[in-house]
Structure 1
Amino acid sequence: MRVLIASEPATPGRDNEDFAAAAPGLAVLLDGAGIPAGLESGCSHSVAWYARTLGGLLLAEALDPRTSLADALAASIERVNALHSHTCDLQHPGSPSATVVAVRVAGDRLEHLVLADSVLVLDRTDADPLVISDDRLAGVLARLDGPDERPPLGSAEHAAFQLARVRKLNDHRNRPGGFWVASTRPEAAEQALTGSTPLDRVRAVALLSDGASRPADRFGLLTWPDLLALLDKNGPAELLTQTRDAEHSDPDGTRWPRGKASDDATAVYWALHD
């Protein structure tokens, strides 16, 4: 089995709030939810700290095959809570949070878990790629966003728009009818998309933060088969290079409206049968 990982921050020199790691028969990816300037979180720790800490604990918990991926995530959230409950307000609606993708070999099957809007792509031997992403956040945003055009990226108006948007989202996070993400509530793990696929039907898997999936699901520059072929031939670093090239060609978001000109981008490519 061959596992390749590439990750880089949205801009050089700033914290990368993504996390990815692999162990024998297991891979995880987390995308920390950035907090706009002017918004408090009630926590003395950074989003990057949260994603790395939760991701490392999840990797350890999920190595036990007797523990389901959802139970491993719930236990990891509880353990992170215990690490900072004495210093931070875990009831604050803006507490650090992260998306989660995990895949694990279990006997003759490949198990998966997806929570929030990172992407898992299964390169299947007998069918088109299966793309798994939790679209509940997108559903909430569709209800919240008005019909007006989004202000240009980099403008003061855009910064104010993003701040107001995140404040509204906090009222829908980890609530029925809203969207679910890893934060301070272990029960969010029960809301993850989970399942399994016969191992002999999966050639490879790609775990992508939404900053790395942009060429396929936002920019329309690659189909999912194209993206998988690129990862297999050139590796995840090339996917990130093409993502940055596209972003730099549209700095104000005119062609591809988006919340951030560039986002932290992480891709994991796991070839299962090399």
Structure 2
Amino acid sequence: MRVAFASEPAYPDRPNEDFIGATADAVVLLDGASIPPGVTSACSHSVRWYSHTLGSTLLAEMTQSAGPLPELLAKGIKHVTSLHDFTCDLTHGGSPSATVIMLRQTAGHLDWLVLGDSTLILDTGTAEPMVICDDRLEQVAAPHRARLDSLRGGTPEHAEARREYVETLGQYRNRDGGFWVASTDPLAADQALTGTIPANQVHAVAVLTDGAADAVNRYRLITWRQLLDVLAQDGPDELIHQIREAERSDPQGELWPRSKAHDDASAVFCLV
């Protein structure tokens, strides 16, 4: 695979909690779940530490093993958990977490795994590409967004509503009837969406955190097909530039209600 990628933090003075890692035949993307002010965690490690440590572990596993991707993800979660289970209270719901996408080319096939609300797009040459996203978080979150979406961003009321919203979602994380992400329990890997497709049926692949997928999902700037065209013709940097322009035009979320004005945004484009 030929791989190009770009990643930009929500704000220049804050750490980027996304992670991208790639080799000639493997891609890993993680989106760390930001913890807003006021939400406590019994873990001393940052979200960035978690996403980058798990991401680098998964990339190493994928280059060393041909095992099933859920098995490699479970092994990676277990390893990272072992790095801090003696120093942190990992039973607390505020432990760092991340979405995960894993993509591997081997023996004429593409294997993929999606856990959480990051997005995988497979361009199979048809009019509409194949779009894979785990929407369980959105299903859980939708009934709890009304107050947050009604408030202008940047206000104390909005910040408090966001804190309450995140704490409420924490009650649904990694449990039946809720949504699943990588955190401390390796059994979450069993809940991932997975698939395999012949490599000769795929022209290109895009891998996006939700901050990059917002170009389609939230802002409706372009279609998925047009997003692939932007990545192919102008590169991942241009996609993120278009998203930032839209966000700057609506800083308080009046046109596009959202929990924060900007999000970390990462995009990977692969030619197969």
TM-score > 0.5, shorter chain as reference? yes
Q: Which runs of 5+ in 2 are unaligned?
A: none
Distance 1:229 1:253 in 2: 27
Match of 2:156 in 1: 156
The percentage of aligned residue pairs carrying the same residue is 52
- Cα displacement (A) at 1:125: 2.2
Distance 1:19 1:149, change over 3 A: closer
TM-fit CA distance, 1:64? 3.4
CA distance in 2, matches of 1:126, 1:35: 39
Partner of 1:169: 169
**Residue 270 of structure 1: aligned partner:** 270
Q: Residue in 2 aligned with 1:95?
A: 95
Partners of 2:62 and 2:44 in 1: how far apart? 27
**Which residue does the alignment assign to 1:77?**
77
Query: Could you list the per-position Cα deviations for residues 66-107 of structure 1 after superposition, in whole angstroms to 9, with x for gaps in the alignment?
Result: 311111110000000111111111111110000001111121
Q: Which runs of 5+ in 1 are unaligned?
A: none
Aligned to 1:244: 244
Match for 1:121: what amino acid? I
Q: 1:65 to 1:200 in 2, by over 3 A?
A: farther
Shift of residue 148, structure 1, vs aligned partner: 7.7
Aligned residue for 2:75, secondary structure, equals helix
Aligned residues: 272
Aligned to 1:228: 228
Q: Residue 148 of structure 2 contacts residue 165 of structure 2 at CA under 8 Å; is this kept in 1? A: no
Partners of 1:12 and 1:47 in 2: how far apart? 17
2:17 pairs with 1:3? no
The equivalent of 1:23 in structure 2 is 23
Q: In the alignment, residue 178 of structure 2 is paired with which amino acid?
A: G
TM-score normalised over the length of structure 1: 0.97
Q: Which amino acid aligns with 1:187?
A: L
- For residues 171-221 of structure 1, give each alpha carbon's deviation from its aligned partner in whole angstroms, at most 9, with x where no partner exists: 110000000000000000000000011111111111101011111111111
CA change 1:179–1:87 in 2 (3 A) is same
Separation of aligned partners in 2, 1:130 and 1:112? 13
User: Which whole-Å deviations, capped at 9, do the CAs of 1:9-55 have from their partners, x for residues lacking one?
Assistant: 00112100000010121001000000010111111110000000000
RMSD: 1.2
Q: Tell whether the 8 Å contact from 1:74 to 1:187 is kept in structure 2 after alignment.
A: yes
Q: Distance in 1 between matches of 2:183 and 2:240?
A: 27
Q: Please say if 1:54 is aligned against 2:54.
A: yes
Query: Is 1:259 the counterpart of 2:259 in the alignment?
Result: yes
Distance in 2 between residues matched to 1:126 and 1:266, nearest whole Å: 25
Corresponding residue for residue 184 of structure 1: 184
C-alpha displacement of 1:109: 1.1
State the SS of the aligned residue for 1:71: helix
CA contact (8 A) 2:148 2:259 kept: no
- CA shift, 1:259, in A, is 1.1
Which residue in 1 is equivalent to 2:203? 203
Deviations 1:235-266 (A, max 9, x none): 10111111100100111111111111100000
Distance in 1 between the 2:182 and 2:259 partners?
Answer: 21
Q: Which amino acid aligns with 1:203?
A: H
Once residues 185 and 61 of structure 1 are traced to their aligned partners in structure 2, the CA distance between those partners, rounded to angstroms, is 18
Give 1:126 deviation, angstroms. 4.0
Cα distance in 1, alignment partners of residues 70 and 105 from structure 2: 15
Kept in 1: contact 2:41–2:93 (CA 8 A):
yes
Is 1:118–1:134's contact at 8 Å kept on the other side of the alignment? yes
* Alpha-carbon shift at residue 143 of structure 1 (Å): 2.9
Aligned partner of 1:120 in structure 2 is 120
Query: Any conservation in 1 of the 2:99–2:116 contact (CA below 8 Å)?
Result: yes
State the TM-score, normalized to the length of structure 2: 0.97
Structure 1 residue aligned with 2:109: 109
Distance 1:27 1:149 in 2: 34
Q: Judging changes above 3 Å, is the alpha-carbon distance between structure 1 residues 206 and 149 closer, same or farther for their aligned structure 2 residues? A: closer
Q: Which amino acid aligns with 2:254?
A: T
| CA distance in 1 between partners of 2:116 and 2:149 (Å) | 25
